[in-house]
Amino acid sequence: MFTLRRFYSTTIQSKATTFVQNILNNSVRFNPTKNKLFVLHDNQCGLSRLLTSAYENSVDKNALTVMNFDEHEPAQIKDHINTHLSEEDLVVCIQTGAFYLNDYRLRLELFNRNMKNIEHVHLGLMPTEQYETYVNSLAFDPLKNGPSLAMKLKQKIDNAKSIIVTSGKPGNTTQLHYETEMESALLNIGDYTGMKNVGGTFPVGEVFSEPKNLQHVNGHVMVFGFPNLNRVVEIHDEPFMLTIERGTVTKISETAPHSFIEVFNVIKENEGEVIIREFGVGINDGMGKYNPLNDVTAFERQKGLHLSLGKKHTVFKKENLKSKKTKFHIDVFIDVRTIEMDGDIIFNENEFF
């Protein structure tokens, strides 16, 4: 038994190392002969330890510094970055929760100094049985999986005049209609070619947009997952229905779990109504309805569709939604069968195009 478990974890560890090497080579294009890798981690959960080892095993010791966040004062960490790192160096943050360095906004500071940054966050939300899924989600390689599909999706979304989303269990489906153009879609696929800022939060694999006219969305949509009030993604095998009229959720089916109603009520109490915004197409097939991840930041890249509830969207701006007054962006995962844009099926039973 012991041998089996050991074998299993060794397999995950070696997979993690392979995928991390791909990220270093193909995504952030880290050059170990010229640049340094600084791994800032904690040891508070198994996944954090697993990823820390994966980065340690991926780079020659001469190019590597590893620091345990919990054993150092914020000032020491800042000092290390300021005195030992320079342009093109890479900082990887491996976090059971999310590191807080007082008023020091790490990613911003790094990008300002032309350094690279990779973040893994909320790792403590994942129970042991999800470790392998998390590792598999890191297999998404921008060189292999990314550009052609993502660009094709962007092109479709950017040109779309109408979108029909069919969702629900086979034989019992319902439709949501977008009669609007969409905002110019953005890619989060780990390809930073030509970008000033190199890096971001991993895992990646998403193309996202939102309706130009938020009110031109009507119909019904079936939801299979959402983050609950504890910020843990809940998956429900039996999807439940949201009715959407003029871009606002006006009805929730009686089969919706109590934990969803709680989330819905919090948004409604704070924002007065629950509107939908993000149209997020995930293209990372390392995770999905049957191999979920508890952390929504990671799971929103799952292959398929998610929409956001609430008035907040930090990327797309809308004149009548002043960002100071908007509070919520809660991703809900759609039990999607097909996505049709201007009459073309772009997603059908878990396959694109």
Output the smallest distance, CB 307 to Fe ion, in A: 9
For residues 96 and 123, is the Cβ–Cβ distance under 8 A? yes
Compute and round to an integer the Cα radius of gyration of the chain: 21
**Of residues 74 and 200, the one with the C-beta less far from Fe ion:** 200
Question: What CA–CA distances, in Å, run from 90 to 23, 25, 59?
Answer: 12, 12, 12
Q: Which two tokens stand for residue 247?
A: 């871009």
Site for Fe ion in 232-271 (CB under 5 A): none
Site membership for Fe ion, residue 300 (CB under 5 A): yes
Output the smallest distance, CB 266 to Fe ion, in A: 20
Tokens 């791909």 — which residue? 22
- 96 Cβ partners below 8 Å, 6+ apart? 42, 44, 45, 48, 122, 123, 124
Site membership for Fe ion, residue 42 (CB under 5 A): no
**Of residues 117 and 284, the one with the C-beta less far from Fe ion:** 284
**Of residues 116 and 277, the one with the C-beta less far from Fe ion:** 277
Output the smallest distance, CB 308 to Fe ion, in A: 7
| Binding segment toward Fe ion, per CB under 5 A, in 7-15, 207-215, 233-241, 319-327 | 207-215
Provide the CA 299 distance to its chain's centre, in angstroms: 6
Helix axes 2-22, 46-58, angle to 10 degrees: 60
**Of residues 199 and 280, the one with the C-beta less far from Fe ion:** 280
**Pairwise CA distance, residues 131 & 286, whole Å:** 12
**Number of shown-chain residues binding Fe ion (CB under 5 A):** 3
Output the smallest distance, CB 289 to Fe ion, in A: 16
**Of residues 136 and 297, the one with the C-beta less far from Fe ion:** 297
Output the smallest distance, CB 141 to Fe ion, in A: 20
**Of residues 239 and 280, the one with the C-beta less far from Fe ion:** 280
Q: Which two tokens stand for residue 101?
A: 């360095």
Output the smallest distance, CB 254 to Fe ion, in A: 28
Output the smallest distance, CB 115 to Fe ion, in A: 26
Q: Which residue is nearest to Fe ion (CB)?
A: 280
Site membership for Fe ion, residue 141 (CB under 5 A): no
Output the smallest distance, CB 321 to Fe ion, in A: 17
| Binding segment toward Fe ion, per CB under 5 A, in 32-40, 71-79, 116-124, 296-304 | 296-304
**Pairwise CA distance, residues 244 & 276, whole Å:** 8
Site membership for Fe ion, residue 280 (CB under 5 A): yes
Output the smallest distance, CB 302 to Fe ion, in A: 10
Site membership for Fe ion, residue 203 (CB under 5 A): no
**Pairwise CA distance, residues 298 & 121, whole Å:** 8
The closest alpha carbon to 188, from 153, 164, 156, belongs to 153
Q: Look up residue 309 and give its DSSP letter.
A: E
Alpha helix (H) ranges present in the chain? 2-22, 46-58, 74-84, 106-112, 131-137, 147-159, 258-271, 296-299
Burial of 255 (0-12, 13-18, 19+ CB in 10 A): exposed
**Of residues 89 and 295, the one with the C-beta less far from Fe ion:** 295
**Of residues 295 and 300, the one with the C-beta less far from Fe ion:** 300
| Binding segment toward Fe ion, per CB under 5 A, in 154-162, 178-186, 236-244, 295-303 | 295-303
**Of residues 42 and 227, the one with the C-beta less far from Fe ion:** 227
Question: What CA–CA distances, in Å, run from 324 to 271, 319, 327?
Answer: 12, 12, 8
Q: Look up residue 184 and give its DSSP letter.
A: P
In the complex, which residues of this chain contact Fe ion (CB under 5 A)? 208, 280, 300
